[in-house]
Every structure is written in structure tokens, then in C-alpha cells.
Amino acid sequence: MSLAIATESVAESEEEPLVPPSATDASITALIADPLLVRGAGRSWWIATAIAAALTLVTIIAIWRLLAEGIGLLGNNTTVVWGVPIANYVWWIGIGNAGTLISALLLLTRQRWRASINRFAEGMTLFAVSIAGLFPILHLGRPEYFYWLAPYPNTMTLWPQWRSALVWDFWAIVSYLLFSIVFFYVGLVPDLATLRDRSKSLRTRRIYGAFALGWRGSARQWRLHQALYSTMAALAVPLVCSVHSIVGLDFAASLMPGWQETIFPPYFVVGAMFSGFAMVVLLAAAMRWGFGFQQIVTVRHFEAMALIILASSLIMTLSYSTEWFSGWYSGKAAERGEIAFAFTGSYAPLFWAQLFCNCAAPQILCWPRMRRSLTALVLVSLAILVGMWLERILIIWNTLSHGFLPSMRHLFLPTLEDGLLVIAPLGFFAMLFLIFVRVLPAISMHEMRQLLHERTRP
């Protein structure tokens, strides 16, 4: 439904071009490729990378401490056995969903504006999912045995316990990661060829060449490529939905008040898209500014994304209220108590903050001028990213700290380690992304050219 809105809006503002009228194949290609091949990294890039690297180091130290000392370093306790790593995991996997979703869904629904954002959105997906994948392992008491979740022949004749949502999770993440890599790579091949042909030094040509797999741009190759790419896109959509549904089941497949709810899978998917688009907006804005992509990442792009965010926000709000209603309607003391605790209990301030960030703040986008104002959009996106993290941590804290037996009600007291695990990985993510934009075309050149072509054709 959100997409429908987007389509219309884009149709309406047809006068506004997705690519500058003056643009030619050559100019577009140059615009995107030159930062990699000709121009060196600017000072801002180096500063950003330095900061990101520092945070990456912090991430590594935090993880090492965790492995050496034990997860007792985290604030988890007997009652609230889950905590920050799980929330981070859900949050990152949510971010990771948007990339493939944008590419695939928008490709299938012929959203032409997708061309200039899908590449780095997919990049974002890869990095986010890999980071997300770390947390379930880090939160284990004995991380060294994480592979026991995989079925493999062993001398104990033991298998994973298939009924556990965590095992489904394992498969969801692994398959999603593998798929995203391939999808990303397939989309990349023609551009790698372009880079191969444009780069001056033999070394870079060899490297790009090797990965270009001998792409020549023949009609046959293009046909095969298109076929493969759209097939994968078709496969991607259900996969994307399955991933976060299964994450939702980690909670829903339990009997704890506030978790045991059928609404979780769908609303986790929307939540993922929600936070994912927020992150895309941030990255798009950053690159637009960093590379001077003003002509190809236009206000129209942001407007379209703003509409999707607005729509998702409405859906989220609806889901929340459904959750509260069904909790109340169930008539169970535990369920009602849990909801009351969320609104009035120890974590109420965070809960209200969450509602503000996810439900209230995005509403300013109903206002066309706000949809077209980058600042507003960026601020809203930031709010959403915070709000969605709060949502995930509160799903855990509220339910676990307010269980069935009053005698076992304890609060979660975050520790330094918790804090590090929240902040530092952002730097790691940033570093991966910064490197990515330096070695690969952050915007799909061949699809931009295609866009250009379609425009010039009567």
C-alpha cells in the first residue's frame, strides 16, 4: 500500500526529472565512476573513516572482553535473560531488510526512481546483516558452539532442535545473507566491467576485470542478466518478508505476556522496512552531499521515500494499538498487567519516547513541504532509528521484567558493555560503508544509463 502512494506521487510530479536533462551516458558514468578511479578521497572521507575506524576498534575490544570474561559483563540477569544484543540484532536485521526490499520490490513495481538508490541500499543490507549476524552469537553463553544450530553429521548423532525459532532464525539469516551477496553481485557485474574498462592502471583493471567475469555487454549477456536479475528480485521479496517474520517468531513463539502475539511477524516486517528506509535516507543524504550527486539523487527520491516512511509509521501505529487492544481484550491479568507496566512502569519514559519517535514525529511528513525538506527528513529518520531501537529493547525489558510471578520481578540495569555494543557497531558499519563507496560504484551506472535511455526514447 505504501508503494501505491509512492507511485502516484511520483506520477504526479512528472515534470520533475529523475536525471538532469543535460545528462548523457558519458556524463552520468563519469559522475559515478570518477570518484573511484580519478579523484582521490577527500579530506572529509578520511576524517569520517578515521572516526569509524576508532569505533571499529572499540567494537573489537568490546567483543574480545565479552568472549574472555563471559556475558556476565552485560546487564542481563536471572529474570531479564535477554538484553541489548538481541535488541541490536533485531534492529540491525531490520536495517538490513530495506536494501534488498528497495531493489527487488521497487524493481518489480517498476519504480524507476529506484535506480539511483538501490546499489548503496543493497550495500547497506550486506553490512547491516553481517553485523546483525554477530549479535546472536555474542549473546550466547558459549559462543564457541554457535555452529550447533546447524545440522551437520557428528559422532553424537545429534541434530538441532527444529521446533526452536532460533534454528529457523539461523537459516533465515544465513540464507538471506548469501542471497543478498549474490543479488548484490549480480547487479554489480556490468558496472565492474565499466570500471575495468575505465581504470588506467593494469592492477585495478585486473581486479575489476576478475570480478567482472568477462562481461562484454553483448546483447545475449544483457538478456541473461536481465532474466537472472528479475528472477532473483522475484525470489527476494518473499525472502525479505520471511526473514523478519521469523525474527518476530523468536518472541511470538513463546508464552510470555506481550510476546505471544500473532501480529508480531507482519509488524516486524513493516518495522524493518520502516527503520531500513530511515537509514537509506540518511545514507542517501550523506552521499548526495559527499559526492555531489545532487542531479541524480534528487528531492523527488527523498519525497518518495518520505511517503513510504510516513505510510509505515501509520502501519506501525496501527500495529501498536492492535497489540494493546488484543492484550486488553484477552482479559488475561498478565497481559493487561504487562501493558499497564509499559505505559506506567519503570520503563515508561523510554516507552513514551518510542511512541513519539515512531508514531508522532513522522506525521510531520503529511506536510508536502516537510517531505521535500532534507533537514526535516533526516531528523525524522534519526528519530525513527532511535525509536525502533527503543521498541526492540522494550519488547524485551517490559515483558521479561514483568513476568507471571511477582517474586521474580527484577529490572535490567545496563552496563558499560551494553552501551559499547550499542554505539560501537555503528562505527564498524560506517567504516564498511565508507570503504564500499571508495571501491565500488555507489550508484548503479548501467541502470542510470537505462533510465536515461528510456527518457530519451519517445
Partner 1 sequence: MTAKLALSRRKALELLAAQTALLVAGCSRPREEIVPYVRMPERMVPGVPLQFATTLDLGGYGRGVVVSSIEGRPIKIEGNPMHPASLGATDAFAEAEIFSLYDPDRSQAVRRSGEIGNWAAFLDALQPRLLELAPTQGEGLRLLTGPIGSPTLMRQIMALRQRFPRLGWHRHDPLEDQAAREGARMAFDRPVTALPRLADADVVVSLDADPLGAGPLQIINARGFAANRQARRGAEKIGRLYAVESAPTLTGANADHRLALPPGDIASVAIAIARALGAALPEAALSPEAAGFASELARDLTAHEGRALVLAGPTLAPDVHALCCWVNAQLRAPIDYFEPDDRAQPSSLADLVRDCAAGKVESLLILGCNPGYDAPPNLRFHEAIRNVDFRAHLGCCFDETAALCEWHIPQSHILESWSDLVAPDGAASLVQPLIEPLYDTRTAHEVLAALDGSVASARDLVRDTWKASAPAGDFEDWWRRSLHDGIIAGSVGKPVSGLSPKLPQLKSRPADKLTVVLRPDPCVYDGSFANNAWLQELPKPLTKEVWGNSIGIAAPDAAGLGIVDGDVLRLTANGRSVEAPIRIGSGHAPGVLSLALGYGRTAAGRVGTGVGANAYLLRADASWAIGGVVATPTGERRPLVSTQKHFSLDGEASELFPTFTLEQFRASQGNAKEAQLPSFFSPPAGSGARWGMVIDTTLCIGCNACVVACQSENNSPVIGPEEIAAGRDMHWLRIDAYQIGSSESPRTGFQPVPCMHCETAPCEPVCPTGASVHDSEGLNVQVYNRCIGTRFCEANCPYKVRRFNFFGYADGQEYRDLGADVMRAHNNPDVTVRARGVMEKCTYCVQRISRARHAADKEDRLISDGEVVTACQSACPTRAISFGDLSRSEASVSALGKQPQHYSLLRHLDTKPRTTYLAQVRDINPRLEGKTG
Partner 2 sequence: MAQIFGPGADTVARGVLAGIAAAPFAFVAFCYALASSPHVTDEGVTVTQPVPFSHEHHVGGLGIDCRFCHNGVETSPVAAVPPTETCMNCHSQIWTHAAMLEPVRQSLASGDPIHWRQVNRLPDYVYFDHSVHIAKGVGCTTCHGEVERMPLMRQSAPLTMQWCLDCHRNPAPNLRDLGEVFATDWRAPADQDERGKRLMVEYHIHVDNLTDCSVCHR
Residues in contact with partner 1 by the rule CB under 8 A: 65, 68-72, 74-82, 139-143, 145-146, 148-149, 158-161, 163-167, 170, 250, 253-256, 333, 400, 403-413
CB of 220 vs partner 1, minimal distance in Å: 46
If contact means CB under 5 to 8 A according to the sort of partner, which of partner 2, partner 1, none does residue 360 touch? Answer: none
If contact means CB under 5 to 8 A according to the sort of partner, which of partner 1, partner 2, none does residue 214 touch? Answer: partner 2
Count each helix (H run) and each strand (E run) in the chain, helices first: 17, 0
Does 217 bind partner 2 (CB under 8 A)? Our answer is: no
**Three-class HEC string of 109-153:** CCCHHHHHCHHHHHHHHHHHHHHHHHHHHHCCCCHHHHHHHCCCC
C-beta atoms surrounding 178 within 10 Å:
10
Nearer to partner 2, 61 or 150 (CB): 150
User: Between 154 and 183, how does the x/- string for binding to partner 2 read (CB under 8 A)?
Assistant: xxxxx-------------------------
Nearer to partner 1, 260 or 322 (CB): 260
User: Between 31 and 70, how does the x/- string for binding to partner 2 read (CB under 8 A)?
Assistant: ----------------------------------------
If contact means CB under 5 to 8 A according to the sort of partner, which of partner 2, partner 1, none does residue 167 touch? Answer: partner 1
CB burial string 394-429: b at 16+ within 10 A, e below: bbbbbbbbbbeeeeebeebebbebbebbbebbebbb
CB of 157 vs partner 2, minimal distance in Å: 5
User: From CA 106, how far away is CA 309, in angstroms rounded?
Assistant: 15
Nearer to partner 1, 89 or 274 (CB): 89
Nearer to partner 2, 153 or 349 (CB): 153
- Residues binding partner 2 (CB under 8 A): 152-158, 196, 202, 205-206, 209-210, 213-214
